[in-house]
Amino acid sequence: MTEGDEAESEQNIQIDTIAEMVCRSKKLVVFTGAGISTESGIPDFRSPGGVWTKYDPEEFTYQRYIASTESRRKHWLMLRHGNLHRSVAPNAAHYAIAELDRIGKLDCVITQNVDNLHQKAGVPAGKVFELHGNMQRVKCLGCGRYYPFAEIDARVDDGEPDPACIHCAGILKPDAVFFGEALPAEVLEEASRRSSECDLFIVIGSSLVVYPAAYMPVYADKAGAELVIINFSETPLDHRAKVVLHASAGATMKEVVARLMKKKI
């Protein structure tokens, strides 16, 4: 058997193990990071060639956004380059997670992503806890109204570098968490509770270095849940996981669900 054959055999064993764990689970939480959405063409901000190699993240804080028209103009330009608001399709991993919900195995998704792809794939919005917000929406910080991002993006295209609310002239901000801004308290509290109460926690596409989001698998592990990590790079929690798989999120999750279905769950 060649080295490649051995690696493939080991991966098959790991996928079988994950499928068995999902089969046994009564309360599965899936936690996703940027690595699941790069397979849909959304760039990872922190990777080589990502947005933060072109812009200084220290310039893009919530405090600067609120204080300066010039800062808001820079934010809108940077966000448009990130393509997080564009029409992007879910990939095989998103659809596999939605299938886990359809067959009754998913308690919820906790995500660091702001791309709305879990909902597009079919996971009910009430089961998706967006720790860092959602780039499909823009919120007025004055009156609280929401706008579709595409509507505000069109205004920027038409020459408004710092568009304001048409109802109260308040500052418009994408409904995603900026540097220096607190995570949404209710979402964080519920995500923490569900992490602490699950029996299986699967991390997909996260390096687990951004806090407080990265506390979620810690809560699950401390509560006795089994931990699976599917990510191309190592994470600080690899030593705590029952399965660590350095492989494609889409191909892996599609195969996990296929093997799960063979068990007639």
Just list the catalytic residues.
132
Alpha-carbon gap, residue 170 to 146, rounded angstroms: 12
Whether the CB-CB separation of 146 and 165 falls below 8 Å is answered with: no
Give 132's Cβ-side CA count (13 Å radius): 21
Whether the CB-CB separation of 33 and 112 falls below 8 Å is answered with: yes
As given in the structure block, the two tokens for residue 106 are: 């998913």
Place of tokens 């991966």: 11
Q: Which of 124, 126, 127, 171 is nearest to 152 (CA)?
A: 171
DSSP string across 120-138 = HHT--GGGEEETTEEEEEE
Contacts of 83 (CB under 8 A, 6+ apart): 41, 42, 43
Q: What is the largest CA-CA distance in the chain?
A: 69
Local structure of 208: helix, strand or coil: coil
Q: Which of 80, 127, 82 is nearest to 100 (CA)?
A: 127
Q: Which of 178, 246, 191, 243 is nearest to 220 (CA)?
A: 191
